[in-house]
Amino acid sequence: MNKIALGVLALFISFNVFGQARVMNPGEAHGQLVFLSAEDILEESDKYESLSPISIPVFAEMPFNMSVVAGAITLMNQGLLSHVQIKARARKIPNVDISALEGGMSNPIFEGFGDGDFIHLVALADGNITVSASDENQAKSFYQQKVAGSEKIELVSDLNTQQVFLMPDLSWQDFSKVGSKAANYAELAYALNTPEREVVRPSMAIPFFYYAQFVEDNPILKDAIKGLLRDPLMRRVSATKYRDEKLKVIRELIESDVTVIDEDFLSLLVAKLDDFVSPSGEKMKMKFRSSTNAEDLPNFNGAGLYSSKSYKPMKDGEERSQKKKLKEAKEALKEVWGSVWNLRAYEEREAFGIAHDEIYMGVQVNPSYSNEEVDGVLVTANLAENDQFSGAGVYIEAQRGDEHSVANPEPGVQSEKILVLYDANEPLNKELYQIHYLSQSNVADDMETILPAANPHKVMYEGEVKDLVFQSLKASEHFQPIFSTDQGQTVPLDIEFKVDDLDSGQRQVYLKQVRPFIQ
pLDDT in tens, the chain (519 residues): 333 333 323 333 344 434 468 899 999 999 999 999 989 998 889 999 999 999 999 999 888 788 899 999 998 888 788 888 888 988 899 999 988 776 667 777 778 898 999 999 999 988 888 899 999 999 999 999 988 887 788 899 999 999 999 999 999 999 999 999 999 999 999 999 999 999 999 999 999 999 999 999 999 999 999 999 999 999 999 899 999 999 999 999 999 999 999 999 999 999 999 999 988 889 999 999 999 999 988 778 888 899 999 999 999 989 999 999 999 999 999 999 999 999 999 999 998 889 999 999 999 999 988 778 999 999 999 998 777 889 999 999 999 998 888 877 777 788 999 999 999 999 999 999 999 999 999 999 999 999 999 999 999 999 999 999 999 999 999 999 998 876 667 899 999 999 998 766 789 999 999 999 976
d(CA 422, CA 417): 17
Q: Is 208 helix (H, G, I), strand (E, B) or coil?
A: helix
DSSP 297: B
d(CA 154, CA 167): 26
DSSP 106: G
DSSP 490: -
Q: What angle do CA 49, 122, 12 make, to 5 degrees?
A: 105
Do residues 501 and 507 make contact, with C-beta atoms less than 8 angstroms apart?
yes
448 forms beta bridges with none
d(CA 363, CA 454): 38
Buried b (16+ CB within 10 A) or exposed e, 303-342: bbbbbebebebeeeeeeeeeeebbebbbebbbbbbbbbbb
CB atoms within 10 A of CB 107: 18
CB atoms within 10 A of CB 493: 26
